[in-house]
Structure 1
Amino acid sequence: MSQNKKEGLFFTTIVCFSMVLFMSAYNLLLHGQFSLNNLLGGLVPGFIVAFLLDILVVATTAKKIAFALPLNKEKRIHMILAVSSCMVLGMVAFMSMYGVLVQFGFTENFLKYYMDGFIKNLIMALPLQLLLVGPICRLILSKARQSSLLREDNSIKD
């Protein structure tokens, strides 16, 4: 968990970028459209949408829900799993909608496409976040902390 705003922004950025990268590749593979051009072409807009949704909508709501759950809040792993799971549910809900709108637009089959995408994305995103991206990004955050890159007081002195 981040200890200040700089760490929070850094952690959010690396998690969001990683998840968008992996989930974009996954969805392109699912639809038989994977190529480096397609991946890179959708990466920046997907990251921007995901990042804004994360910081403006999902993170606050996910944390409120996670902290309201009847968990042992003293156990760090319980809180990490709760917050991460709530974040994944929220982000999958929004980003599946984004993906369907980009791919198909708002058609009469929107709900069918959305539900199909939501389920397939959740099946991939939850273990991806809990087992790979989350732990790796927490490790990166811890290494960045040790190097003092993320301290609030690391201003340049003349």
Structure 2
Amino acid sequence: MSALPTTKREQVVFGLMMCFGMVTIMLLFNLYNSGMIGKLSLMEILLQFVICFVVAFAVESILVGPVAKKVAFSLPFDKSNKLVAVLTLSFFMVVGMVLVMSFYGVMTSYLTNGLGGRSILRSYGSAIGHNFLLALPAQLLVVGPIVRAVFGNVVDRSKVSA
């Protein structure tokens, strides 16, 4: 299992890397799903990315991360099994982030383009379903392993050179 963050600085770097990967995948998915790719300029997409990244990192750092850790590690499982710990925490992080960021996405859509006659509640429920179906496998199979591997290499190199 790759290195996990142990200091506050490492947690910030790790969180930034995770947010970058997940926001990239989820933003592209939602732009494609809403038919906005090709309608927005590259600068508009980059602006969307920056705003979404800042919001996601703040939400993860201040709200979802602490709550997910508290819930995940209150469950009765062998905390020394890193794989189970990572999977459990990842699951609760995805649930929390999908709930909050889907609301962010629906509200952003509502304020900029409307919801095409659908209610906010229906749009939110639909967004949660679509986002969860992509976010969980993206986190468990793609972004999480890549970020942990890259982070592990960075941490290992800094410890060797220190």
Task: Give the TM-score normalised by structure 1.
Answer: 0.89
Structure 2: distance between partners of 1:45 and 1:32: 20
Choose the corresponding residue for 2:142, options 114, 129, 132.
132
5+ long unaligned stretches in structure 1: none
What is the deviation of 1:71? 1.5
Structure 1: distance between partners of 2:76 and 2:131: 27
Counterpart for residue 45 of structure 2: 39
Structure 2: distance between partners of 1:74 and 1:52: 29
Choose the corresponding residue for 1:58, options 46, 51, 64.
64
What is the deviation of 1:41? 2.4
| 2:30 counterpart of 1:30 | no
Matches within 5 A, 1:88-127: 88-105=94-111, 109-127=119-137
What is the deviation of 1:99? 0.3
Aligned residue-pair number:
151
Identity of paired residues, percent? 36
**AA at the equivalent of 1:18:** G
Structure 1: distance between partners of 2:44 and 2:28: 9
5+ long unaligned stretches in structure 2: none
What is the deviation of 1:26? 0.2
What is the deviation of 1:39? 2.7
Choose the corresponding residue for 1:80, options 75, 86, 90.
86
3-state SS, counterpart of residue 68 of structure 1: coil
What is the deviation of 1:70? 2.0
What is the deviation of 1:3? 1.2
| 2:150 counterpart of 1:144 | no
Structure with more relative contact order (C-alpha pairs < 8 Å, separation 6 or more): 2
Deviation per CA, 1:47-94, whole angstroms, max 9, x where unpaired?
Answer: 010010011100000001100112221110000000011000000000
Deviation per CA, 1:85-135, whole angstroms, max 9, x where unpaired?
Answer: 100000000000000000113977110000000000000000000000000
Which consecutive aligned stretches of 4+ in structure 1 deviate over 3 angstroms post-superposition?
35-38, 105-108
What root-mean-square deviation, in Å, do the aligned CA atoms of Structure 1 and Structure 2 show?
Answer: 1.8
